[in-house]
Structure 1
Amino acid sequence: MPRIGQIMYLNKDVYDEYQKRHANLWPEMKKELKDHGATNYSIFLNKENGELFAYLEVPDVASYNEIANTDICKKWWAYMKPLMKTNLDNSPVALDLHEVFHLD
């Protein structure tokens, strides 16, 4: 199963709010993530610089990426925009990481 790793960028002084919003992830957004194949999804915060490391597994990356076209995902991005560095479409600025090791 493909593994995805990304770095995103959280604004200062919103760490608690970011965590609170994810602790209360909308049921519709959670369903959409699962419907698009996301499993083992975790986000880690570096409190020193606001970098977020996201990790998830998906059966098919192209199918997972289709989540960006859903209304609920676009609504979530707009909700999260004040907390993080975003692109013009409100999607988080994300640096895709290249996997160099996996212990099986």
Structure 2
Amino acid sequence: METVAFRMTLKPGMREEYEKRHRELWPELADALHAAGIRDYRIFLDESTGHLFAIQQRTDTHTTHALATLPVMRKWWDSMAELMETHAERGDSAPVAVPLVPVFHLP
């Protein structure tokens, strides 16, 4: 298993709606994430900045690079675009996700 982390940004005032949509995560999206090898996916919010910190475990044979080509992923991103910073300048609703570099681990 590999652990990856990244940062996204929630627009001001969108916390409740963001949490609601994730509580109601589409089963077909959850299935796609699992099929791509994602395990134990968590997202945390820094309320002072609106930054979302995401961490996930990925199997050694993950196919997360292919998620962006799936219609269900594109549909999810489109539905979330009003809540988050996205790549709208390139005509894409994918969230801006900044990879985070691991600097410490206590097993």
Aligning the two structures, in what range does the TM-score lie when normalised by the shorter sequence? over 0.9
Which residue matches 1:24? Answer: 24
Is the Cα contact below 8 Å between 1:2 and 1:61 reproduced in 2? Answer: no
Between the aligned partners of 2:48 and 2:62, the Cα distance in structure 1 is: 33
Amino acid at match of 1:93: V
Between the aligned partners of 1:2 and 1:100, the Cα distance in structure 2 is: 15
Q: Relative to 1, partners in 2 of residues 1:43 and 1:61: Cα closer, same or farther, differing over 3 Å?
A: farther
Moved over 3 A (4+): none
Matched residue pairs, number? 104
User: Alpha-carbon deviation of 1:60?
Assistant: 3.9
TM-score by length of 2: 0.92
Consecutive unaligned residues of structure 2, counting only runs of 5 or more, are none
1:43-75 alpha-carbon deviations (Å, 9 max, x no partner): 001111110000001014861121111000000
Residue 13 of structure 2: SS of its match in structure 1?
A: coil
Between the aligned partners of 1:41 and 1:6, the Cα distance in structure 2 is: 11
Say what the alpha-carbon RMSD is for the aligned residues.
1.3
- Answer with 2-11 or 56-65: which moved more: 56-65
Percent identical among aligned pairs is: 38
- Answer with 43-52 or 57-66: which moved more: 57-66
Which residue matches 1:94? Answer: 97
Between the aligned partners of 1:76 and 1:43, the Cα distance in structure 2 is: 16
